[in-house]
Chains A and B, each alone.
Chain A
Amino acid sequence: MGRSMSQISFQSVSRVFRRGSEEILAVADVSLEVADREFVAIVGPSGCGKTTLLRMAAGLDFPSSGSVLVGAREVAEPGPDRAVVFQQFALFPWKTVRENIGFGLKCRGVPAAQRNAAVDRYIEMMGLQGHENAYPHQLSGGMQQRVAIARSYALEPEVLLMDEPFGALDAQTRIEMQEELIRLARVNPRTVLFITHAVEEAVYLADRVAVMTRRPGRLAEIIDVAPVRRAEAWEERPIEEVMDLGSFTHLRTRIWKMLRDEREAKAEAPRVTPLQRRKAGP
């Protein structure tokens, strides 16, 4: 597969949910390409359909129209080539740290010896030494999410899908995890689709930030962060320093304003979606 080819491709994707007799347009005509080894973050107000986009890439949900391709193939079902990190960690409470991290490899039928070696590598990479045999409920939230990230990375998937992975963590742990993820992305680069509502997090982590509008969710704009990051060597600096840079605050403020303009525009115009209009007709 050529490197120029995009790993994840949303092609005019719309998603309509039915709630009783009501039809709700959650995602409206979104087209987005994520290149191989690229880190793309999607930000937007809650309920804008960003998680729905991720679930469609994962094969946990499907578009009402348009198509979602991962690695040039249309997504038909979940698969280990697209591991998901969930906001609520979703670790198996009955498995130890070691068993949780090895879960995907076990499902794939990797022999125990080989599996253990891989698990050891990720335990070390995520700083989980000493907790190998703990159960998830014995760990703090930050540690649990480290385990969940290790579980996904251990599969060496083509694509990592992260659904507000740090949303349930406290501010301090969150910053640690963001740094950790940058470090991980450097030693083990993957194609990442990252959902968040935290603008700073998106700017700090992503090569490109896609900004979505309120429901029905459309792509408002895509902001290229990578050139700035490379030029100023963000990855070499501690997070608090990066977040203080003029270029960082500039990008962050730009996205904030975009989200606010969007909010105000919506407040003025009556919120009529094409579907509702059609239903209101004779």
Chain B
Amino acid sequence: MHIGATTDSRSYRRAVAAGRARMASAGRRPWIGAATVLGLAILWYVLTTATGAVSPARFPRPADVWSAALQLTLRGYAGGTLWLQIWYSSRLVLLGFLVAAATGVPLGLLMGMSRRAEALINPAFLLIRPIPPLAWIPLAIVWFGLGDAAKIFVIWFAAFVPALINTYTGVRTLDRTLIAAARVHGASERQILTEVMIPGALPLIFTGLRLSLQASWTTLVAAELVGAFFGLGRVLIIAAQDIYPGMIAFAMALVAILGALMTGCLGLLERWAVPWRRT
């Protein structure tokens, strides 16, 4: 018994040490990434500015992007300043994403838990799923006009699918023995849901939410390109009409940064909600 205890704590310590080693190698990665980004930036400068190998009419120089950034921030472009455009786009993404998560995750849980719910919902889902979300834009405009509601509807449609499928898969691939273990230790149906199915599916739920968030951004930009009064997609389409590569590049970078920020927030939320996966 004592021998057992020491070997066990040793193997535990070994597991912790392995976890640290993994984190150390992950700690080195940001430096490699930063070097790559710096290299690309230098290449960009050399090609467009120092040598002039690429014409600034085709690809903006760093200075063009900088002046576009200043213009958008200080004077505004396409009907508003930087903050207004960011606010409009982020708000729509968040609303669409939240509606998608609030419907996709519970429906996925329901389909994962109950064969009857699955039989009921799945045919409709399979019928609608092959339609690309962007193909709903015309119908959304007919139903809701050019306002926010149409965009939220299309985002919801795009983001709903990965949230639902991953949640469903998370529940369905759960080890059946764990459910049996919960039942033989006295868990009620509700406790099986809250203590076993949801935490067990959580890693896949978060995978689904990450994909949903990405789909939300993709769809938003597309929807704003088609028709919007404000927003980053609106900035992009106006800049294209003005043949303004600096502004196009800046707006694209903004979409990328905002998307990464939101994904980062979701990652933090996941770390907090799924603590057993950390080591």
Contacts and interface: CB of A to CB of B under 8 A. Distances in A.
B25 interface: no
B279 interface: yes
Interface residues of B, number: 32
Contacts of B279: 135, 137-138
Contacts of A279: none
A197 interface: no
Interface string B95-110: 0000000000000000
Contact of A94 (B5, B12, B274): B274
Contacts of A220: none
A142 B180 CA distance: 21
Contacts of A88: 177
Interface in B146-204: 175, 177-178, 180-188, 191, 195-196, 199-200, 202
A103 B185 contact: yes
**Residue in A91, A135, A140, A173 with the greatest tally of chain B CB atoms within 10 Å:** A140
A108 B185 CA distance: 9
Contacts of B9: 130-131
Interface in A76-95: 77-80, 82-84, 86, 88, 90-95
A127 B12 contact: no
Contact of B187 (A86, A90, A107, A142): A107
Interface residues of A, number: 42
A148 to B, nearest CB: 8
A201 to B, nearest CB: 17
A131 B3 CA distance: 16
A94 B200 contact: yes
Given A93-B276, A94-B202, A107 B191 contact: yes
Contacts of A9: none
A94 B274 CA distance: 8
Contact of B1 (A130, A155, A179): A179
A165 interface: no
A176 to B, nearest CB: 5
A212 interface: no
A262 interface: no
A79 B186 contact: yes
Contact of A180 (B1, B8, B185): B1
Contact of A84 (B12, B184, B200): B184
A92 B4 contact: no
Given A94-B276, A142-B4, A142-B8, A60 B178 contact: no
A80 B196 contact: no
**Residue in A94, A131, A151, A152 with the greatest tally of chain B CB atoms within 10 Å:** A94
Contacts of A151: 185
Interface string A117-131: 000000000010011
Given A78-B180, A90-B180, A139 B8 contact: yes
Contacts of B178: 90, 92
A143 B8 contact: yes
B13 to A, nearest CB: 10
A109 to B, nearest CB: 10
B15 A92 contact: no
B179 to A, nearest CB: 9
A134 interface: yes
30 contacts: A59-B184, A77-B183, A78-B180, A84-B181, A90-B177, A92-B178, A92-B181, A92-B195, A93-B200, A94-B199, A94-B276, A103-B182, A104-B186, A106-B195, A107-B185, A107-B186, A108-B186, A127-B4, A135-B279, A137-B15, A138-B12, A138-B15, A139-B8, A139-B12, A140-B8, A143-B8, A155-B186, A173-B4, A179-B1, A180-B1
